[in-house]
């Protein structure tokens, strides 16, 4: 037990180092030591030893990469095609960990996705990557133009843009006079992001499937997380005080698919609302990009 706790502490230090390195001139790719503490805490209670479901053991790197008796669950470089990632995000059922909710946090999921995207490397194996510029509107605009603007334009194929959501310019996409659909710095609090991920119904684009690819979704998420920058690279302001309307699965601790909500005495909770429910959250954007809930109700 002492050795295990020591290993976990060392992994935590490695994680802190990994985060700190993100601001450096070069950044090491994530290796297995970064994600092992997450698996140890949330997964190996079932996925270890001879009795592991479908023979899928997650207690060491070799077993994880071997996968289950059916298929490999990690496809190096391809998070969207990796069953491990699909299960922890709820894209494949049943969602994992089976003991959830609460499921893994958005940060934990992002870390596992990053590890897979970086090549699912074993512990101790890293390479140096040149720093990448933050994505801008110029990077994501082609996706919106090809998959979204057919409806979300001044006059699309359905007439005026549904609910007034325009995705034909940076200013229109960031407009928040009615409510904020994009919260710069917080993809999980962004209605647009939740729609294209399928966390909110109906999933967008409305003519899917096929929906956006994993790479397209990840690019839009990165764009929002790094400030929803315009084509010149200038980050957008957080629309503090703007209304939001989010749909998703409520988890214990007032989390919406991993997004922490600020719930207080002024929050209206409709009767019967509880963890596991698909709900609508109405609220406002805080100055730090968090969401203060004014009402939560089942949908």
Q: Using alpha carbons, list the distances in angstroms from residue 247 to 30, 124, 144, 171.
A: 32, 40, 21, 24
What three-state secondary structure class fits 249?
A: strand
Do 34 and 60 lie in one domain? The reply is yes
Most confident stretch, 18-27, 37-46, 148-157, 172-181: 172-181
| Torsion sign, CA atoms 24, 122, 74, 129 | positive
Do 185 and 153 lie in one domain? The reply is yes
234 assigned to some structural domain: no
Please, are residues 104 and 39 in contact by the beta-carbon 8 Å criterion? no
Distance CA 163, CA 284 (A): 18
Is residue 5 very low, low, confident or very high in pLDDT (cuts 50, 70, 90)?
very low
* Residue range 79-83: mean pLDDT, rounded: 91
For residue range 234-291, what is the model confidence (pLDDT) as tens digits? 999 999 999 999 999 999 999 999 999 999 999 999 988 999 999 999 999 999 999 9
123 assigned to some structural domain: yes
Above 50 in pLDDT, residue 21?
no
Domain boundary among 105, 129, 153: 129
- Check whether the bond before 97 is cis (ω within 30° of 0): yes
Do 33 and 125 lie in one domain? The reply is yes
Neighbours of 143 (CB within 10 A): 21
Q: What is the CA radius of gyration of the chain?
A: 20
**87: which 2 tokens?**
């299960």
**pLDDT confidence of residue 56:** 95
**Strand 291-298 with 259-262, pairing:** parallel
**pLDDT confidence of residue 131:** 61
Do 107 and 152 lie in one domain? The reply is no
* Residue range 195-200: mean pLDDT, rounded: 94
**pLDDT confidence of residue 127:** 55
Q: What are phi and psi of 38, to 5 degrees?
A: -65, -45
Domain count, the chain: 3
Do 175 and 191 lie in one domain? The reply is yes
Do 171 and 115 lie in one domain? The reply is no
Do 282 and 202 lie in one domain? The reply is no
- The proportion of the chain whose per-residue pLDDT surpasses 70, expressed as a percent, equals 88
For residue range 220-238, what is the model confidence (pLDDT) as tens digits? 999 999 999 999 999 999 9
Do 21 and 123 lie in one domain? The reply is yes
Paired with 283 in beta bridges are: 244, 293
**pLDDT confidence of residue 3:** 44
Domain hosting 178: range is 137-225
Query: H or E stretch including 141?
Result: helix 137-147
Is residue 7 very low, low, confident or very high in pLDDT (cuts 50, 70, 90)?
very low
203 burial level (CB within 10 Å; 0-12, 13-18, 19+) = middle
Paired with 31 in beta bridges are: 121
Cα 128 to chain centroid, rounded: 25
* Residue range 148-174: mean pLDDT, rounded: 93
Beta strands per DSSP E along 69-203: 128-129
* Residue range 177-187: mean pLDDT, rounded: 96
- Non-local CB neighbours of 29 within 8 Å, separated by 6+ positions: 118, 119, 121, 126, 127, 129
Do 263 and 281 lie in one domain? The reply is yes
């Amino acid at each position: 037990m002492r050795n295990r706790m020591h290993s976990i502490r060392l992994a935590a230090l490695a994680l802190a180092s990994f985060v700190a390195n993100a601001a450096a001139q070069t950044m090491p790719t994530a290796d297995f030591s970064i994600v092992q503490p997450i698996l140890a805490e949330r997964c190996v209670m079932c996925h270890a030893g001879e009795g592991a479901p479908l023979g899928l053991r997650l207690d060491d790197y070799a077993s994880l990469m071997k996968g289950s008796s059916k298929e490999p669950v990690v496809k190096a470089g391809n998070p969207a095609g990796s069953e491990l990632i699909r299960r922890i995000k709820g894209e494949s059922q049943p969602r994992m960990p089976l003991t959830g909710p609460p499921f893994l946090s958005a940060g934990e999921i992002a870390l596992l996705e990053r590890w897979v995207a970086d090549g699912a490397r074993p512990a101790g194996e890293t390479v140096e990557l040149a720093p990448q510029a933050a994505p801008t509107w110029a990077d994501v605009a082609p996706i919106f133009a090809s998959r979204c603007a057919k409806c979300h334009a001044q006059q699309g194929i359905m007439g005026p843009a549904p609910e007034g959501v325009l995705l034909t310019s940076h200013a229109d996409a960031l407009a928040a006079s009615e409510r904020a659909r994009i919260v710069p710095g917080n993809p999980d609090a962004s209605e647009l992001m939740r729609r294209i991920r399928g966390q909110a119904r109906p999933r967008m684009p409305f003519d899917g499937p096929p929906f956006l690819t994993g790479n397209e979704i990840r690019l839009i998420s990165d764009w929002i997380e790094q400030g929803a920058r315009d084509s010149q690279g200038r980050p957008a302001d957080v629309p503090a005080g703007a209304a939001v309307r989010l749909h998703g699965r409520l988890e214990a601790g007032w989390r919406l698919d991993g997004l922490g909500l600020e719930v207080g005495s002024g929050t209206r909770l409709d009767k019967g609302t509880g963890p596991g429910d698909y709900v609508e959250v109405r609220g406002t954007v805080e100055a730090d990009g968090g969401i203060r809930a004014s009402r939560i109700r089942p949908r």
